[in-house]
Amino acid sequence: MIILGDSGAGKTSLISCFQSNKFDKVCSTSCDNYPMAFKLLGGKIIKLEIKDTLGQERYREIYNSFYKKADCCILVYNIADSSSFEECINKFNNKIKKNCKKNIKVALCGNMIDLENKREISFEKAAKFASENNYIFMETSCKQTLNVKNIFEYLITTTFLDSKDLLNNNLKNLQDFNNK
């Protein structure tokens, strides 16, 4: 899984919040992958590597090899910063279409919904972009640990479970081994 989005959108915070279920105010972006293991419905076990990236334009080219390997992607913007959304719908989306596997599963993530009074991008606008591209869409807040687990679990489940399993089961059964 690769995490993409503009600098400051909250990529590192999302990973950290997903892993620890809490909000660390300062998150420095690490070059490492974050390995995790999950047991899916029906007992299938997957080992997932989450690749954090640096959002600044000058660093973006270094991730080209990760685009090719990724099975799924979270594309993050800040709902209170329209330029971070523009970066997603233009630059990052083009990169995904050009460099990723054709069948990659993408989740668009509108982060920082705790900043509702500063919102610049409406839910509807982002949902429309997501549906036109066949992307999952959720809004999250790392600060309030809202929807963070959901977006990861939903993306992992839809990426690695067969549609037949998805129909028969409820995704709530996904188990995070690292929390056990």
Ligand X SMILES: Nc1nc2c(ncn2[C@@H]2O[C@H](COP(=O)(O)OP(=O)(O)OP(=O)(O)O)[C@@H](O)[C@H]2O)c(=O)[nH]1
Q: Between 93 and 111, name the residue whose CB sits nearer to ligand X.
A: 111
Q: Does 46 interact with ligand X (rule: CB under 6 A)?
A: no
Using the minimum distance from each CB to Mg ion, give the nearer residue, 10 or 110. Answer: 10
Helices (H), 101-172: 123-132, 148-160, 163-168
Enter the tokens of residue 137.
């869409």
Residue 115 binds ligand X (CB under 6 A): yes
* Cα–Cα distance measured from residue 44 to residue 38, given in angstroms and rounded to the nearest whole number: 8
Q: Does 147 bind ligand X (CB under 6 A)?
A: no
Binding residue for ligand X, selected from 2, 5, 63, 152, defined by CB under 6 A: 5
- Which of 122, 125, 127, 128 shows the shortest CA–CA distance to 138? 127
Judged on CB neighbours under 10 Å (0-12, 13-18, 19+), 133 is: middle
- Distance, in Å, from the CA atom of 165 to the CA atom of 144, rounded to the nearest integer, reads 32
Q: How far apart are CA 60 and CA 2, in angstroms?
A: 12
Least Å distance between CB 145 and ligand X?
A: 9
Least distance (Å) between residue 146 CB and ligand X: 8
The two beta strands, 33-39 and 175-176, are: antiparallel
The values of phi and psi at residue 21, to 5°, are 65, 20
Using CB under 6 A as the binding rule, whether residue 112 contacts ligand X is answered as yes
String of contacts with ligand X for each residue 69-108, x by CB under 6 A: ----------------------------------------
Instruction: Decide whether 114 or 165 has the Cβ nearer to ligand X.
Output: 114
Out of ligand X, Mg ion, none, what residue 143 binds, judged by CB under 5 to 8 A for its kind, is ligand X
What residues make contact with ligand X under the rule CB under 6 A? 5, 7-13, 25, 27, 29, 54-55, 111-112, 114-115, 141-143
